[in-house]
Structure 1
Amino acid sequence: MKSAALILALATTPLPALAQATGQAPWNRDVPASHRDRVYAAEQFSNTVSVIDPVDGKLLGVIRLGDPQPANFSPLYRGQVLVHGLGFSPDGKTLAVVSIGSNAVTFIDTATNRVKHTTYVGRSPHEAFLTPDGKEVWVTVRGEDYIAVLDPTTYQETLRLKTPGGPGMTTFSPDGKYGYVCSSFNPELVVFDVASHTIVGRVAQPSPFCPNIAATPDGEQVWYTLKDIGKTVVIDAKPPFATLKVIDTGPITNHVNFAATSRGILAYVTIGGRGDMQVFRTDSFERVATVPVGRLPHGIWPSGDGRRIFVGLENDDGLAVVDTATNKLVGTVPIGQAPQAIAYVANAVPRGDGLQNLQPLGLAGQSSTLSLGKGGRALTNVTLFDQGLIQVLQASATGLMPKRPYQLVLAARADGGGEVQPLASFTTNPSGAAIVNASGPIRQVVQADASSGRRWLAIREGTADAPGAIVQVQQR
């Protein structure tokens, strides 16, 4: 269940000189948080962008880019599907929103929340970031093998930069010299010289699946996450881009970001399978804190002054807010369904109230949660996102054997016995975890007050042709 939004009371004076912007957004200035700032969350099942006032910890409304299921199944559907990635311009005036399912980059005016243009690129883009000088938008086209370079004034594609297949994300050095591109399908990271658009470095990834990458605000290091093996890797940001450290962070390691605090530059990593955020020093790589934040933490971004970290909770429909001085959760703001990327934009609304073109949360705020496990221990979180009469089910499965086939099923009995109906087949990653999706009127049959034909969610080993034993069952 979602927590009520709390008054977050961000301080109105900056930290000491160490406080500065993140490497992902070197144009954020060291300024106190303000009601002019905005936090944005891209939400892939409600196809919305939530807009939050970071000072009050208040959802102001959503920018609705598309419809939920089943409306978006129509061959005549014109909205966006799987709203996922976020980037923004150096001046904070434009938000770039990537929708994976509709191959789109939507440009939004931050002052008015108005869609200015939508550019369609290749198959399954993942993230779009602007170069620090604001002259180019680099879109990683993860379903193919290139970066689509867009002109931010005409919104047209001007160039394609060849990469290993499945580029996951680009981050830039704060000085704008290098663009670091990790891969989601190949174990190789490449480094571009931004001015010449040429590859000047290649770095071996310990595994193929990198969803997120970020540069430290001092320009010395680049950190990237490996979702499939639960690790975070640190490389030198300068040639020859040597690997400095591989950190075992945990199953479903998602995103990484930084804040410059009075204790130095700290790295923050979301661990989806454990429901927490881990905090590391960037000089010694020592883990200094583990902060429980909620179900399946995903995107992460600091405030411009480094006093707060904002974390999207993919299976809680919430935005967790963490105080960097104490590493404590101070509030959770209800937002749209399955937030992915998060972005903090300083001075996004220079004047006015910034409420134009926003809509209420509505159906996008409706979901329910449960867990699966064994022996009374919860191991797998499940969220049912309402889409009218049906729900999108998303399970963050953990506690399973690595690289093994499993099925998410509906069982006739609470112990997983009796007739079993498969919902989805999946194979775990090397850390014994997986993200599993299904859709249908599932909530109506798994809730305790189901009028007839009650079923229980469970996970069983094997495949449809060779089913095995039930290993996790729905907890009462």
Structure 2
Amino acid sequence: MRHLIPAALVLALLGGTALAGQAPGPASAPDVPVGPRDRFYTSDQFSNTVSVIDPAANTLLGVIRLGDTTPANLSPLYRGQLLVHGMGFSPDRKTLLAVSIGSNSVSFIDTATNTVRHTTYVGRSPHEAFFTPGGREVWVSVRGEDYVAILDAATGKETGRITVPNGPGMTIFSPDGRYGYVCSSFSPETVAIEVKSRQIVGRIKQESPFCPDIAATPDGRQVWFTLKDVGRVQVFEAAPPFKALKTIETGPITNHVNIARTRAGQFAYVTVGGLNQVKVFRTDDFSQVATIPTGALPHGLWPSGDGSRVYVGLENADAVAVIDTGTNAVTATIPIGQGPQGVAYLPEAVPEGAGAPNLQPLGAAGQSSRLTLDGPDGKPATQVTLFDQGVLQTLQAAVTGLMPKSPYLLALSADPKGAGPVEPLAAFMTNPAGAAIVNAVGPIRQVTQNPSAAARRILVIVEGKPGETGATVQVQAVQ
């Protein structure tokens, strides 16, 4: 007499490593309900930490400290990681990857102990890394150069390179493991690579040269990628001839895309940083079904193991927003480290126990303040966060509402209306959507919030370049 054993039980008995039926795994894999063994991770760029969240309770358990804050990390003898940014994970959920773009490194983190097993140093400014579906290799997009570095997953040693268009932004794989897709942050071309041969077998035109993120649908049919500079998402077929399917206008500072499967269908969730929103699209007819307000500058996002939730890192809010995919509403907000970028949701990452060994408290990394710059119409146009780094702060401005491809200056002014001479902080050029992400470091909170009116300065944005400034176009709002 034959006995039929459910696929989920077979995987459990064999210790299988198949991912859930959510991205980046195949739709055929069983979903994993949210539970206390799950973990959600964020890579926190300004505190150089990895925040660890228990999704069952929606609470921060602590952080994995990979490096120090500024100015300690400016020492020539500094040995920690700098600008913790990208993230990936293994199919068996036992290893988390954290990519640090400032120290050119990939940290392999044990999810059971929250400790770094080993660190691999690669080429200039790696951006994202991900395991192949078989779990034997890690592909690292070395964005500051023109290749994907191949690492042995067991040892972390580099075993090969694949030359791709200049500035590879991210690599993701088809659920069956046949293809790797690499979009570019410096060149208007995405490539499809046959994993077995490591040969480029398809080229897809990007409508702009700045793609930071890419996702493959669990049904194996589509690949979605974002274009941050023009505020769009593109979709193409996941198999040869890799035909372009759709371009969708999403909004300024379009950051990441990911896929969630629910009872209602398969959906693409897209973070739009300049609008502080997540937009939701069906993957069958590309219709938009929801717009979800989230908080300041949504960046990375990942679905839970059953697709019931999507977790979103809020880059300028030092928080994670939890979206219920049934209602497409934010149901919780969780404080984390500074400036979350890449994220990862790992179902059943913790084999046993509380899963919180070696975690540290958030500490000073939980401190920040926020300002707003208004446009000529008096409406908010630019959101600014000051991330405390001790005496100094790292400033990050999510600038919108300016002329496209034009030079501007973020500066300090002694005049409450931004008139007269200014003190430059950072020069920048807007992207084709009239937006930009602008950074500066200094005692800016002490200056902009000085109790002495004579010593106080306000943040402004003026046209032009240092020494060649024009009109003031945005002024710090009165708090």
Does the pair score TM above 0.5?
yes
Q: Is the contact made by 1:23 and 1:173 (CA closer than 8 Å) also made in structure 2?
A: no
Partner of 2:23: 23
Moved over 4 A (4+): 25-29
Unaligned runs of 5+ in 2: 1-18
Partner of 1:358: 359
Partner of 1:422: 424
State the TM-score, normalized to the length of structure 1: 0.95
Q: Separation in 1 of the partners of 2:81 and 2:466?
A: 33
CA 1:357–1:29 in structure 2 vs 1: closer, same or farther (change >3 Å)?
A: farther
Partner of 1:475: 477
1:264-323: CA deviation from partner (whole Å, max 9, x where unpaired)? 001000000000000000011001000000110000001001000100000000000010
Q: Separation in 1 of the partners of 2:21 and 2:367?
A: 34
Partner of 1:4: none
The one-letter code sitting in structure 2 at the alignment partner of 1:442 is I
Q: Separation in 1 of the partners of 2:451 and 2:108?
A: 45
The 5 Å alignment of 1:37-436 reads 37-374=38-375, 375-436=377-438
The one-letter code sitting in structure 1 at the alignment partner of 2:308 is R
Aligned residue pairs: how many?
Answer: 458
Shift of 1:25: 4.2
Query: Highest relative contact order (Cα 8 Å, sep 6+), 1 or 2?
Result: 1
Work out the percentage of aligned pairs sharing the same amino acid: 64
Shift of 1:417: 1.3
SS in 2 for 1:273: helix
CA 1:411–1:29 in structure 2 vs 1: closer, same or farther (change >3 Å)?
A: farther
Shift of 1:464: 1.1
SS in 1 for 2:73: helix
CA 1:101–1:225 in structure 2 vs 1: closer, same or farther (change >3 Å)?
A: same
The one-letter code sitting in structure 2 at the alignment partner of 1:65 is L
Q: Is the contact made by 2:23 and 2:303 (CA closer than 8 Å) also made in structure 1?
A: no
Q: Is the contact made by 1:444 and 1:450 (CA closer than 8 Å) also made in structure 2?
A: no
Q: Is the contact made by 1:215 and 1:223 (CA closer than 8 Å) also made in structure 2?
A: yes
Deviates further, 146-155 or 445-454: 445-454
Q: Is the contact made by 1:81 and 1:99 (CA closer than 8 Å) also made in structure 2?
A: yes
Q: Is the contact made by 1:39 and 1:344 (CA closer than 8 Å) also made in structure 2?
A: yes
Q: Separation in 2 of the partners of 1:406 and 1:63?
A: 37
Unaligned runs of 5+ in 1: 1-18
CA 1:29–1:50 in structure 2 vs 1: closer, same or farther (change >3 Å)?
A: farther
Q: Is the contact made by 2:22 and 2:306 (CA closer than 8 Å) also made in structure 1?
A: no
Name the Cα RMSD after superposition. Answer: 1.2
The one-letter code sitting in structure 1 at the alignment partner of 2:280 is V
Q: Is the contact made by 1:20 and 1:306 (CA closer than 8 Å) also made in structure 2?
A: no
Q: Separation in 2 of the partners of 1:102 and 1:179?
A: 25
SS in 1 for 2:365: helix
Shift of 1:22: 2.9
Partner of 2:5: none
Q: Separation in 2 of the partners of 1:439 and 1:450?
A: 22
Q: Is the contact made by 1:410 and 1:421 (CA closer than 8 Å) also made in structure 2?
A: yes
1:85-139: CA deviation from partner (whole Å, max 9, x where unpaired)? 1101100000011000000000000011011000000000000100001011000
State the TM-score, normalized to the length of structure 2: 0.94
Q: Is the contact made by 2:23 and 2:260 (CA closer than 8 Å) also made in structure 1?
A: no
Q: Separation in 1 of the partners of 2:302 and 2:334?
A: 15
Q: Separation in 2 of the partners of 1:203 and 1:450?
A: 57
